[in-house]
Structure 1
């Protein structure tokens, strides 16, 4: 704790855990969850609380995922889901940034966009899915559009708010040093707003994996959502739970990637 920033952070959060200890703690939590899951599923079998088929044990579920991976079936479904998420999320993020940055910077743009956004934002994405299917069919376009619609609003709102919250003192200081409008935007506004923008992107990543399952329930022949729906139709509980776990791992990996990129882009925040 050699700097004032370190002292302040230590006072607010306490001493940070070493990396190895933090990793061990996370692995311990995961193992404890698996142990609890195994215990509950075992008690269901021993006590006959209900039909064990309703709650497959973790090793049965992980074994099913391993079986799908070895047969190659998992990778086709995984690739289809990742492709849809990547295209839909990227489109939503680009639209949110392209509209959110000027909306946060200029009141006229914000007044123009705000009524439309506030009318559409409360409409649940699930309510729009039938319309996307009617407009674009049951192919890839409707699924990508559905993800784009669902992820756009949180990223747009956080981007607008991030730009609005930039400290005016920073802008005046840069202007007094001769910075022009493009320089103010790229050298002051964008770096200052980036932490909150990245928070919105993290929300968008999580939401994209949340809604992809719904879109793959309808008219899809590949995808993790299709696997879940197929397991529901034929009562393959290990397949359903295994596909859900893979989705959760993908979401975790996507969030970790954004966090790592944020640490790289926001190096200037750390002394």
Structure 2
């Protein structure tokens, strides 16, 4: 509870500093207010865009959601496979380890050439980018399940499949959710980059449009908008994690 209050106080303090600076800068003009707009100017810019917000948010969420869903399914399945099978690990892991260090955005021009400027290139780029963090965390969680419990299950006659579903997978769930959180963050990062470069709608596109119009207030509003949407999604995922991991000690969940 105290940690949560501290976080809210930190956010409130940052907003208060911005408001105070905005008022002082508007009066004395230390910096051109156009370059650093006040919270009031940013709010007014958002009001100007009110009719476009639902569509932009909906389109961006659809793109991010489709890409994240593909990454989550493939990442968890492949992580479980390589984490539990030496043969699969020897075949799949070298390929993924070769691709993983490459920054995802380096592939964006290639995806655009391969799949065009439509939705497919954006969705696949998001899926490709989020896949690796989900895969790695799932793999680590499954492969390094408690060996004592695994030996106990085997000594009691449990088949490898039964041991996987009763021990490896449940014990890997916290790491899987860690990968999902990181994957969601990566999805939004790549989503905005893709919409900045090749889109005619969405939250990232609206920031690019504001840049072309030199509307810094709208650019800041767009960034804040993305932050708020991401915060809500992360909170929803954290809520789901707490419900599914209710069996874990509370301290471990908070960590």
Q: Provide TM-score, normalisation by structure 2.
A: 0.92
CA distance in 1, matches of 2:196, 2:20: 32
Give the equivalent residue in structure 2 for 1:206.
185
SS at structure 2 position matched to 1:122: coil
- The answer to whether 1:30 aligns with 2:32 is no
CA distance in 2, matches of 1:35, 1:203: 29
Match of 2:102 among 106, 119, 123: 123
**1:45-124 paired onto structure 2 within 5 Å:** 45-69=26-50, 72-124=51-103
- The answer to whether 1:179 aligns with 2:179 is no
- Given that 1:104 and 1:164 are in contact with CA atoms closer than 8 Å, whether structure 2 keeps it comes out as yes
Match of 1:42 among 7, 23, 36: 23
Give the equivalent residue in structure 2 for 1:162.
141
CA distance in 1, matches of 2:208, 2:193: 9
Gaps of 5+ in 1: 1-16
CA distance in 1, matches of 2:232, 2:245: 20
CA distance in 2, matches of 1:240, 1:45: 19
- Given that 1:138 and 1:218 are in contact with CA atoms closer than 8 Å, whether structure 2 keeps it comes out as no
CA distance in 1, matches of 2:232, 2:159: 39
CA distance in 2, matches of 1:33, 1:51: 21
CA distance in 2, matches of 1:161, 1:219: 35
CA distance in 2, matches of 1:135, 1:42: 49
- Given that 1:61 and 1:238 are in contact with CA atoms closer than 8 Å, whether structure 2 keeps it comes out as yes
CA distance in 2, matches of 1:23, 1:115: 41
SS at structure 2 position matched to 1:213: helix
RMSD: 1.7
Give the equivalent residue in structure 2 for 1:241.
220
- The answer to whether 1:194 aligns with 2:190 is no
Give 1:175 deviation, angstroms.
2.5
How many residues in Structure 1 have an aligned counterpart in Structure 2?
A: 250
SS at structure 1 position matched to 2:247: helix
Q: Provide TM-score, normalisation by structure 1.
A: 0.87
Give the equivalent residue in structure 1 for 2:253.
none
Give the equivalent residue in structure 2 for 1:228.
207
Gaps of 5+ in 2: 251-255
